Amino acid sequence: MRIAVPTNLTPESARPRGGRRVRLAGPTMGVTWALDALAPEGLDDGRIRAAVQSACDGVVGQMSDWEPESDLSQFNRAEAGTWVPAPADLIAVVDASLRLAGLSGGAFDPTIGALTGLWGFGPSGAVDGPPDAGALDAAPAGWRSVLLDPDGQRIFQPGGLQLDLSGIAKGFGVDKASAALTAMGVRDHLIEIGGELRGEGVKGSGEPWFVDVERPPGGEALTPLRIALHGLSVATSGDWRRSFETGGRRYSHTIDPRTRAPAQGVAAVTVIHPSCMWADALCTALTVLGEEAGAFAEAYDVAALVVRREGEGFHEAVTPALRAMLA
């Protein structure tokens, strides 16, 4: 067992806390959110639940391509050559997506909605096999064509562009829910949305929030990794979670924008970061980068575990930033 500990965990920050233990859950983004927290005695479960659900519902209302009336869906339907109104959170997430697109050489691209749909991982539903090459080539995509006007709160639709924020919005939702909890006095909490987690403060005993990283099926020989979340977030992507197989080949939901096809080779990526939004997005980028993932993570000081498929087995790489956290 390997244990990753944040460098800012001090005896003072890990002192035992008081408060009422709360465990709550609810639906969001096609998955669930789950909360484990210490709440002030005068704060009832209903207010806590409402705060988390409101944060999640806000993200869905702005960024879901599965909701026809979301702000993102309205942008995707907009006429060519128009500026489309967009709320501040959507602008911020698209802006972060474009920044990562530039840093990663397009390995992360928020404009792959049409490609995601063709491969059967979008709102249009599953497909029986790989799409026609001509349809893939014709699908509008390209992060450089997105124009943002943050002051005017609008995004330019060049024509047919389909934004897909599934590789970053869930992590942003975790951050929003965590911020809402902290603002209402729930300083010590572990919040999860569909496997993306953030831990603030500590448990009542003074221990940080420990979480175990999921290993890919068949990867039982890989050394387990446990992470102490204290002011940190963790996201894990896996090629087995949403995929289909045909012709003896697995096609994962993570699309490589450069090849317009599902990424190949990487079985799982785990990223630890102060921001769950960035942990989520970096997981996607590193999955797509494949053999280049280690160099990218080292260059940008990303704490990550990258598990690649090698024949019938696996090979894992621990980045220097993660290695520095291992106790």
Report how many domains make up the chain. Answer: 2
For residue 17, what pLDDT band results from cuts at 50, 70 and 90? confident
Mean pLDDT of all residues belonging to the chain: 93
Q: Which residues contact 199 (CB under 8 A, 6 or more apart)?
A: 189, 190, 208, 209, 211, 228, 229, 230, 231, 232, 233
* Last residue in a domain, options 157, 183, 217: 157
Q: Which of 15-29, 81-95, 200-214 has the highest mean pLDDT?
A: 81-95
H helix runs in 65-163, sequence order: 71-77, 88-103, 113-118, 133-138
Lowest mean pLDDT among 3-12, 181-190, 248-257, 308-317: 3-12
Task: Point out the domain boundary residue: 157, 182, 212.
Answer: 157
In a domain, 29, yes or no: no
User: Residue 55 above 80 pLDDT?
Assistant: yes
Q: What is the pLDDT of residue 85?
A: 98
Asked if 319 and 205 sit in the same domain, the reply is: yes
* Residue 46 covered by a domain: no
**CATH assignment of the domain containing 117:** 1.10.3980.10
User: Does 233 reside within a domain?
Assistant: yes
Structural domain contains residue 270: yes
Q: List the one residue out of 312, 213, 223 whose CA is nearest residue 268.
A: 213
Kindly state whether residues 211 and 317 are assigned to the same domain. Answer: yes
Written as one letter, the residue type at 274 is P
Q: Which two tokens stand for residue 291?
A: 């053999």
Give a yes or no: residue 22 inside a domain: no
Q: CB-side exposure of 203: number of CA atoms within 13 Å?
A: 10
Phi, psi of 268 (to 5 degrees): -160, 150
Select from 157, 186, 215 the last residue of a domain.
157
| Predicted pLDDT at 8 | 72
pLDDT over threshold 70, residue 86: yes
* 313 and 236 housed in the same domain: yes
E strands present in the chain: 2-4, 20-28, 31-39, 82-85, 147-149, 154-157, 188-193, 196-200, 209-212, 225-229, 232-238, 243-246, 249-252, 255-256, 261-262, 266-273, 303-310, 313-318
pLDDT digits (tens, 9 = 90+) for 189-226: 999 999 999 999 988 888 889 999 999 888 888 999 99
Range of the domain at 105: 66-157
Say if 171 falls within a structural domain.
no
Q: Is residue 131 part of a domain?
A: yes
Residues 87 and 145 in one domain: yes
Read off the CATH number of the domain in which 242 is found: 3.10.520.10
pLDDT tops 70 at residue 108: yes
What backbone phi and psi angles, to 5 degrees, belong to 214?
A: -70, 135
Which pLDDT band holds residue 127 (cuts at 50, 70, 90)?
confident
Contacts of 65 (CB under 8 A, 6+ apart): 72, 73, 76, 113, 122, 123, 162, 163, 164, 165, 166
Check pLDDT > 60 for residue 306. yes
Residue 274 vs residue 205, higher pLDDT: 274
Q: pLDDT tier at 11 (50, 70, 90 boundaries)?
A: low
* Helix-, strand-, coil-residue percentages of the chain, each rounded to 5: 30, 30, 40
> What mean pLDDT is predicted for residues 85-101?
98
Helical pair 276-289 and 169-183, crossing angle rounded to 10 deg: 160
pLDDT at position 63 is 98
What is the model's pLDDT at position 125? 85
What pTM, to 2 d.p., does this model score?
0.94
Other CB atoms within 10 Å distance of the CB of residue 128: 7
207 and 298 both lie in a single domain: yes
* Token pair belonging to 134: 């001509």
Compute the average pLDDT of residues 107-136: 91
- What does the angle CA 184 – CA 189 – CA 192 come to, to the nearest 5 degrees? 110
Whole-number pLDDT of residue 112? 96
Residues 9 and 109 in one domain: no
Mean pLDDT over 279-292 rounds to: 96
* 9-29 average pLDDT score: 80
Report if residue 45 sits inside a domain.
no
User: What's residue 10's pLDDT?
Assistant: 61
Q: Quick check: helix, strand or coil at residue 259?
A: coil
